[in-house]
Structure 1
Amino acid sequence: MTDRKPGFFKRLFGATDTPAPPETRPEPADNPPHPVPPTPEPPHDAVPAPEAVPFPGPPETTPDYVEDLEELAAPPAAPPPPAPQEAPRQGWFARLASGLKRSSDQLTGSIGAVFTKRKLDAAMLDELEDVLIQADLGVDTALAITETLRKDRYERDVSGEEVRAVLAGEVEKALAPVARPLLIDAAQKPFIILMIGVNGSGKTTTIGKLAQKFSDEGKSVMLAAGDTFRAAAIEQLQVWGQRTGAPVIARPAGADASGLAFDAVTQARAEGRDVLIIDTAGRLQNRDELMSELEKIIRVIKKVDPSAPHATLLTLDATTGQNALRQVEIFGQRAGVTGLVMTKLDGTARGGILVAIAKKFGLPVHFIGVGEGVGDLEPFTAADFARAIAGEG
């Protein structure tokens, strides 16, 4: 007769012929001891049960009390680190020098490669002239710098530092006549500013920054969202209006820009606003039909105020380099540009293009921008710009 295993009840309580000590399973290190009774074997004729999940199991099956104990045993959370102290804002020259660093590094690096403490000769002057022209300073400025060196230091030892000093002096001479502030004539109420330029030159952002400056000066400002081709431009200007407390005259995207300009001028006059700034859609200077639309906007403005616009500001993206010269020429012919705003000088290694523009056209440069912040658009100063682009602290 085949021996049968002890029944389940006896095996459960260890009542067998050869009693064995109860089995225990190792517990997690951070839990109290928890003896587990031996798992009984089912009778040979029983239906096998599904395989049991070993204790304590995956996280989703861990009993609540285990989780509670683990939570109690966990070390207290470290306090959050203190908020970083905001660095003091740099002065304007420091921000200008930082913004022009790419331009000055490339220019001064090239100059340093030409002048290595040896006597100045014709070959070195030719190399320097090439460097200055490649930096977009323009032929006139390049010739002026090399001629100054030729007169004062020819056949003498000359260092890169001395050349940079001459560079800064000649750049300041070229820019001083055009460094003129934008003056708001209080007799013109409103003083109407028309912002023009190619796509992506920063017109709308510049308008917002100017609105902030004029508001800080206590002037009553109104904005007109004349870039009706882009819904994003309308929304962007409305955000600036909220920030500066300036009402924004806007129409749905696709509306007639000249009609909007007419309404804006009429309303600004009726409300006695000090300044009205009108945005326009970006347009390439070689698209005749788009330039004709700009001329139409100006004609419509003059129907309300024959003396307007009182300032037509062309925003120039410094990263476009030599193309900026062509923009000044065409926009000047078609729209009567009265002043320039140079933006994105911090995004290019050829900030010298401003010098070439000043020498060729002589238009006032009212503002330059070296960043996205409101304080990164400042009135243009020839001496500061010359020092920054020459790498002089």
Structure 2
Amino acid sequence: MQHASDQASTSLIGSALSAPIEVAPLVEEPSGRQKWLDRLKAGLGKTASSISGVFGGSRIDEALYEDLESALLMADAGVAATTQLVADVRKKAKAAGVTHPIALKNLLTASLTELLTPLQKPLHVGPQTTTVILVAGVNGAGKTTSIGKLTHHLAQSGSRVLLAAADTFRAAAREQLSVWADRNTVEIISQDGADPAAVAFDAVSAGKARQVDVVLVDTAGRLPTQLHLMEELKKIKRVVQKADATAPHEVLLVIDGNTGQNALAQVKAFDDAIGLTGLIVTKLDGTAKGGVLAAIARERPVPVYFIGVGEKLEELQTFNAREFAQALLA
């Protein structure tokens, strides 16, 4: 698995510099972030209510731990993460002499935060002149919309962005990406009926020639079980490396937060195929249970760069482990 640089920077995206530049939250004002957190809590409210109900009694006993285990499994946390969290909470409760369920809930928040913290890594642009970001995902996950939101932020922050419409299987996908290009006033490489890898190659070559800061490559939505399409994705990565031997610098997967354990299966399949460096988790404002991030952290800890709670530009935000744990257990 590839790993993104951990070097932090407080600078916003600008022209390419000699050191990595951290992609800041899409909304930096405290009030804006708080409004977004309120949306996240509302989106995960059903799960939070189910888990919190476990701690409504007056004492800690085996029945409580069994109910907690069931609640975490129902939240899509998966067996491995659930087992780890319950064992960790038991250990902490015993060491601290905790006897009240509310205090036990606080211990669960701490344990979940610890489990999720390895996923909390920022997306960096640089130090290469042109950062190439390959974006994959299944149809309906919100991949192209997420690319549009990320493009908006990069462009607003001063970066020159070039989009590559390498989803040549669907005319609608190219049209959607073109709309985002127009909306963000950025250039796009798009060819009707062209080979997806050829479009990606042309885009990376053009990006380097034009000295843009970021090339975002949109690929065709595919299921990991569609082996011929997964092979096409591998081909795109290989061909991109012919245009730039160091590329792609980031390989992102967009996953739908509503798909539960299937999202974990997607992460594993795409990571095995193309080596993921980061995730964007979308649609946490609907029926998403949210626990799948715990499963990902336990079984395939690919960094979560952004999570989304809606369609608006500002509703795609950087992932923070403690904020998410608190929202899931609010």
Instruction: Deviation per CA, 1:101-127: give whole Å up to 9, x if none.
Output: 243333333441x33433211122112
Closer, same or farther in 2 for the Cα pair 1:158/1:304, shift >3 Å?
Answer: same
Counterpart check, 1:238 vs 2:178: yes
Instruction: Deviation per CA, 1:114-158: give whole Å up to 9, x if none.
Output: 334332111221121111121112334433443344345579752
Paired position in structure 1 for 2:62: 122
- Inter-partner Cα distance in structure 1 for 2:103 and 2:46: 16
| Higher relative contact order, chain-length normalized (CA < 8 Å, sep 6+) | 2
Counterpart check, 1:311 vs 2:250: yes
Closer, same or farther in 2 for the Cα pair 1:347/1:247, shift >3 Å?
Answer: same
Query: Greater helix share, 1 or 2?
Result: 2
Alignment of 1:278-297 (within 5 A): 278-297=217-236
Q: 1:352 aligns with which of 291, 302, 317?
A: 291
Alignment of 1:32-181 (within 5 A): 91-112=32-53, 114-151=54-91, 153=93, 157-159=99-101, 161-181=102-122
Contact 2:160 2:213 in 1 (8 A): yes
Contact 1:101 1:389 in 2 (8 A): no
Identify the range of structure 1 (92-101 vs 119-128) with the bigger mean alpha-carbon deviation. 92-101
Unaligned runs of 5+ in 1: 1-87
Secondary structure of residue in 2 paired with 1:386: helix
Counterpart check, 1:362 vs 2:301: yes
The amino acid of 1:367's aligned partner reads F
Q: Determine which structure has more spread, i.e. the larger CA radius of gyration.
A: 1
Contact 1:227 1:234 in 2 (8 A): yes
Closer, same or farther in 2 for the Cα pair 1:116/1:259, shift >3 Å?
Answer: closer
The amino acid of 2:100's aligned partner reads V
Contact 1:111 1:128 in 2 (8 A): no
Closer, same or farther in 2 for the Cα pair 1:98/1:245, shift >3 Å?
Answer: same
Alignment of 1:148-227 (within 5 A): 148-151=88-91, 153=93, 157-159=99-101, 161-186=102-127, 188-227=128-167
Paired position in structure 2 for 1:378: 317
Instruction: Deviation per CA, 1:257-308: give whole Å up to 9, x if none.
Output: 1111111111111111110001001000011111111111111111111111
- Inter-partner Cα distance in structure 2 for 1:204 and 1:386: 27
Normalised by the size of structure 2, how large is the TM-score? 0.85
Contact 1:212 1:244 in 2 (8 A): yes
Q: Identity, % of aligned pairs?
A: 43
The amino acid of 1:268's aligned partner reads G
The amino acid of 2:135's aligned partner reads M
Alignment of 1:264-275 (within 5 A): 264-275=203-214
Closer, same or farther in 2 for the Cα pair 1:95/1:163, shift >3 Å?
Answer: farther
- Inter-partner Cα distance in structure 1 for 2:86 and 2:273: 36
The amino acid of 2:150's aligned partner reads L
Secondary structure of residue in 1 paired with 2:311: coil
- Inter-partner Cα distance in structure 2 for 1:373 and 1:379: 15
Closer, same or farther in 2 for the Cα pair 1:156/1:216, shift >3 Å?
Answer: closer
Unaligned runs of 5+ in 2: 1-28
Give the number of aligned pairs. Answer: 300
- Inter-partner Cα distance in structure 1 for 2:322 and 2:199: 40
Q: CA deviation at 1:220?
A: 0.8
Secondary structure of residue in 2 paired with 1:255: coil
- Inter-partner Cα distance in structure 1 for 2:142 and 2:222: 12
The amino acid of 2:145's aligned partner reads T
Paired position in structure 1 for 2:196: 257
- Give the CA RMSD over aligned residues: 2.1
- Inter-partner Cα distance in structure 2 for 1:297 and 1:106: 39
- Inter-partner Cα distance in structure 2 for 1:290 and 1:191: 25
Normalised by the size of structure 1, how large is the TM-score? 0.72
